[in-house]
């Protein structure tokens, strides 16, 4: 069953087309990876789907419901959560409170929110920083906090914007395992933007390649990475580089 359907999504900024007629769909319980060179429009696409900015044209449909142009908090209420590439913690709050606020926003009572937040904090491996002021966290911690907060809103679909960037390889594995577990145990549908190809290959059921705002190709990870157009788009640069 299709959970998220994006059709003909376009948006330009002062004549520069950032996202150009992008269409794709994501089945419930599947994982879609989105790759593309810097400036390909990946983050803009997320912003369009999640309601942070309005599309010029095109629609987004979540579980049969049109969510195009809805305010972000309504998109969230419809069952979508997202993380930000540039982390946005609630800096004055502790890690636990960050997550608890998200649970409350999803309708959990204040008391239960703290309990479920504690679970999630442990699950993403943030227990060590549970009571620390979130502003002081290192990148790896902030990335996980983004994930934890998104999870606390109990989404049906999760948009992840480079959750692995800035993590050293040893830190990536637990996050990858967590994402796999989320799909397997909670049935969460994932759409994730990532530069680290090993992660894309490992997680994705399908991979969408964006280049200059357009869909270059969409297919299985193997098919996509052997596509000459994709290699071309990365300008001959092997798309396995450890960019961050």
Partner 1 sequence: MSEERGTVAAPDTSRSELPKPQWNRHLLVLAGLAVVLIPLPLLLPGAQQSVAVRVLIFALMAIGWNVMSGFGGMFSFGHAAYFGLGAYVSAYLLVNHGVSPWIGMVAGAIVAALFAVLVGFLALRYRLKGAYFALSTFAFAEMLRLVAINSDLVNRAVGYTVPLRDEPSWWYMQFEPGAPQYFHLALGLTVAALAISILFLRSRVGRFSVAVRDDEDAAAALGIPVMRTKLTTIALSAAITSVAGTFYVQYYFFVDPDVAFGSSVSIQAILPAVIGGVATIWGPVIGALVLGPLNDVTATLLRDPPEALDFLQGRAGLDVMIYAVLLILIVLLLPQGVYGAIRDRLQSSRARRRR
DSSP 94: B
CA 228 and chain centroid, separation = 26
- What does the alpha-carbon distance between residue 106 and residue 90 come to, in Å, rounded to a whole number? 17
Select the residue interacting with partner 1 from 2, 57, 65, 131 (CB under 8 A).
Answer: 131
| Nearest residue (CB) to partner 1, 131 versus 232 | 131
Task: Please report how close the Cβ of residue 125 comes to partner 1 at its closest, in angstroms.
Answer: 15
Q: Does 92 bind partner 1 (CB under 8 A)?
A: yes
Give me the residue label for tokens 């609630």.
Answer: 90
Interface stretch with partner 1, choices 1-9, 84-92, 165-173, 217-225 (CB under 8 A): 84-92
Give yes or no for residue 125 binding partner 1 (CB under 8 A).
no
Nearer to partner 1, 81 or 210 (CB): 81
65 lines the binding site for partner 1 (CB under 8 A): no
d(CA 65, CA 45): 18
> Considering only CA atoms, which of 3, 1, 13, 6 is closest in space to residue 218?
6
The residue with tokens 């943030």 is 126
Residue range at the interface with partner 1 (CB under 8 A); choices 101-109, 116-124, 184-192, 201-209: 101-109
Q: How far is the CB of 210 from partner 1 (least distance, A)?
A: 21
153 contributes a contact to partner 1 by CB under 8 A: yes
Of the candidate residues 34, 40, 104, 124, the single one contacting partner 1 (CB under 8 A):
104
Task: Evaluate whether 47 touches 98 at the Cβ level (below 8 Å).
Answer: no
Q: To the nearest whole angstrom, how small is the minimum distance from the Cβ of residue 47 to partner 1?
A: 9
Select the residue interacting with partner 1 from 8, 16, 66, 110 (CB under 8 A): 110
b/e 146-179 (16+ beta carbons within 10 angstroms → b): bbbbbbbbbbbbbbbbbbbbebeeebbeebbebb
**Per rule CB under 8 A, is residue 54 in the interface with partner 1?**
no
User: Measuring CA to CA, which residue among 35, 63, 26, 13 is closest to residue 189?
Assistant: 26
For residue 63, state whether it binds partner 1 (rule: CB under 8 A): no
* Nearer to partner 1 (CB atom), residue 32 or residue 137: 137
82 touches 161 (CB < 8 A): yes
Q: Which of 212, 237, 205, 234 is nearest to 31 (CA)?
A: 205
Instruction: Give the footprint of partner 1 on this chain (CB under 8 A).
Output: 50, 52, 71-73, 76-77, 81-82, 84, 88-94, 97, 100-102, 104-106, 110, 129, 131-133, 135-138, 149-150, 152-153
């Amino acid at each position: 069953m299709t959970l998220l359907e994006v059709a003909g999504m376009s948006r330009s900024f002062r004549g520069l087309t950032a996202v150009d007629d992008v269409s794709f769909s994501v089945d419930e319980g599947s994982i879609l990876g989105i790759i593309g060179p810097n400036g390909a429009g990946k983050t803009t696409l997320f912003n369009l789907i999640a309601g942070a900015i309005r599309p010029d044209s095109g629609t987004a449909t979540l579980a049969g419901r049109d969510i195009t142009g809805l305010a972000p908090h309504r998109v969230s209420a419809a069952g979508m959560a997202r993380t930000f590439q540039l982390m946005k913690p609630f800096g004055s709050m502790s890690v636990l409170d960050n997550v608890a606020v998200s649970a409350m926003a999803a309708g959990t009572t204040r008391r239960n929110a703290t309990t479920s937040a504690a679970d999630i904090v442990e699950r993403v491996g943030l227990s060590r920083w549970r009571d620390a002021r979130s502003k002081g966290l290192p990148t790896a911690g902030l990335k996980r906090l983004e994930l934890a907060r998104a999870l606390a809103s109990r989404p049906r679909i999760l948009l992840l914007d480079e959750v692995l960037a800035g993590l050293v390889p040893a830190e990536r594995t637990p996050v990858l395992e967590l994402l796999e577990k989320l799909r397997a145990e909670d049935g969460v549908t994932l759409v994730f933007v990532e530069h680290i190809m090993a992660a894309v290959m490992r997680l994705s059921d399908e991979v969408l390649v964006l280049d200059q705002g357009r869909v270059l190709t969409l297919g299985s990870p193997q098919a996509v990475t052997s596509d000459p157009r994709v290699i071309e788009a990365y300008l001959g640069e092997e798309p396995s580089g450890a960019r961050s």
